Amino acid sequence: MITDKPNLREGMSLDDFLELSHDQPFELIDGEKIDKMPPGLKHQLVLRKIRRLLEDFAMFDNQLGEVFSENAFIIEARRDWVKGSRTPDISFYVKSRIEGYIADIPRVVPIVPDLIIEIISPTDRYDDIQLRTLFDLDNGAKVIWIIDPESRSAWVYTSDTTRPQRFGEDGVLSAPDILPNFSLELSKVWA
């Protein structure tokens, strides 16, 4: 049961967040509740290819960390109080940062992923993508890959640069500080 109508600028209790997101998944960004819409088929196919490549390399071959898709993380203002939340298409956490949380099996992960991958859907608005990207970087994400299946391109944002880097359909994405020796060949994503 929702305790009170939450003032989203201040956040909400973790219990309220979990109850509301069970009914309709959403993100809480800068006091705004943004409903998550179900992805389309093309989005799902691209997500699956990227996740498989990343999982094979990072989890199974090299044990570098954990890969999740459509898994919420929260920004806590204090214990059990959600100040913000996001549900990226794909998240990667470096092993040393996530292993304690996996051992305790939390209801949601209370830390921002090291690498966030977002796949643009036809219904996504540029302003929303920008808002999510800035939220993620401001809260500690190190690298963000924005993948656009329609234009077969990608943009890479990092926490230490002010401008994204654009890659065309044959581009190769990497995050050497997070995933040493891993590269995502965009041509494999479109194949």
For tokens 């389309």, the residue is: 40
- What digits encode the pLDDT tens for the residues 40-81? 899 999 999 999 999 999 999 999 999 999 999 999 988 889
Average confidence (pLDDT) per 10 residues, the chain, 191 residues: 59 92 91 88 95 96 95 90 95 93 80 97 89 95 97 96 94 97 96 89
Q: For each of the domains in the chain, give its residue range(s) and CATH number, in order of start.
A: 38-73+84-190 (3.90.1570.10)
- What digits encode the pLDDT tens for the residues 174-187? 999 999 999 999 99
Q: How far apart are CA 83 and CA 12, in angstroms?
A: 7
CB contact at 8 A, 136 and 145: no
pTM: 0.92
